[in-house]
Amino acid sequence: MKLALVGATGMVGEVMLKVLAERNFPVDELLLVASERSVGKEISFKGKTISVISLKDAVAANPDIALFSAGGSTSLEWAPKFAEVGTTVIDNSSAWRMEPDKKLIVPEINAHLLTKDDKIIANPNCSTIQLVMALAPLHKKYKMKRVVVSTYQSVSGTGLKAVKQMENEMAGIKGEMAYPYPIHKNALPHCDVFEENGYTKEEMKLAREPQKILDDRTFSITATAVRIPTAGGHSESVNVQFENDFELGDIRKMLHETPGIVLQDNPDTNTYPMPVYAHDKDDVFVGRIRRDETQSNTLNMWIVSDNLRKGAATNAIQIAEYLIENKLV
């Protein structure tokens, strides 16, 4: 198994290396790939030192799988070149997610759709992944009509520059700004760029991607995405209206029994999901489960997950594991 990691020097790339080692991913040869300015840089993996190579050299090496986390423009240019030589690309950018002929995969929900012909596979948005992990089992039983989600997203979702901005501000140091305003002691209702309809690109990803993953456009989602000064872990306040009524006990039982979900829902002991619990874990944490008393068949809940792990690196690696296990590469 020859695996290429494109974007190996970035924030998600570093987490991918960590997750590959933790899960003992079956790799015989690991190619670490980055932009020209990083070529030659040495990175340690499982006690070995590996030199970073260029995209051109990585394509020539003809890997079995390429994990991409290098931005949309890089994915648009290079993913087809890898696919042409027979490599299966799992792409973490938004470049291919809504393309009709590309599959958008959360392994616990829809990995069964994958075939050997899928040479470019899209990894969903980090906020989408944790949302659909909790919604999928509930939708199957109660059928969603409408979802209202507000996100509270970590600066790590923007990248290293944003993390550095927050750290500088906390230390009272003036430095490069990733955001148009300070993030320390602040909340920015502005994740990604604004679109013509007044929503941000992040909000529209949350509206569209779940419909594709669940292969159902009969429900609607509206979102507000907010950046908050946490270092890791995205949180979501979710209000979901179903066609059918439910019992709260059944909701809790269903979520508790869903692989990849951890239920943290006991107000008596102040037990509820928080980014500090989710940090460096692969699970999606769900709590604050309660009825919306203003509307029938409607549920409120709070969802938290590590955006760099299940929201990015781990989900991509789980896709790769599924491909290997089912002999699709």
Domain ranges in the chain are: 2-123+312-325, 127-307
Q: What is the structure's pLDDT at 91? A: 98
DSSP state of 264: -
What percent of the chain stands above pLDDT 70?
100
Q: What is the structure's pLDDT at 318? A: 98
Residue among 126, 190, 191, 256 flagged as catalytic: 126
Q: What is the structure's pLDDT at 129? A: 98
Q: Tell which CATH classification among 3.10.129.10, 3.30.1330.10, 3.40.50.720, 3.40.50.150 matches the domain 2-123+312-325.
A: 3.40.50.720
At 9-60, the pLDDT tens digits run: 999 999 999 999 999 999 999 999 999 999 999 999 999 999 999 999 999 9
At 180-229, the pLDDT tens digits run: 999 999 999 999 999 999 999 999 999 999 999 999 999 999 999 999 99
The answer to whether 94 touches 205, Cβ cutoff 8 Å, is yes
Map tokens 């616990």 to a residue. Answer: 108
Is 234 labeled as catalytic in the residue annotation?
Answer: yes
At 121-179, the pLDDT tens digits run: 999 999 999 999 999 999 999 999 999 999 999 999 999 999 999 999 999 999 999 99
The answer to whether 13 touches 7, Cβ cutoff 8 Å, is yes
Q: What is the structure's pLDDT at 261? A: 98
Two structure tokens written together for 166: 């927050």
What percent of the chain stands above pLDDT 90?
99
Same fold across 2-123+312-325 and 127-307: no
Residue among 112, 234, 256, 279 flagged as catalytic: 234
The answer to whether 195 touches 201, Cβ cutoff 8 Å, is yes
Q: What is the structure's pLDDT at 34? A: 94
- The string of DSSP letters for 212-237 reads HHTT--SSEEEEEEEE-S-SS-EEEE
**Could you name the CATH architecture of 127-307?**
2-Layer Sandwich (3.30)
Is 191 labeled as catalytic in the residue annotation?
Answer: no
Residue stretches of the annotated binding site for substrate: 153, 227
* pTM (predicted TM-score): 0.96
Work out the mean pLDDT of the chain and round it to a whole number.
97
Q: How far apart are CA 51 and CA 207, in angstroms?
A: 40
Q: What is the structure's pLDDT at 251? A: 98
Q: What is the structure's pLDDT at 288? A: 98
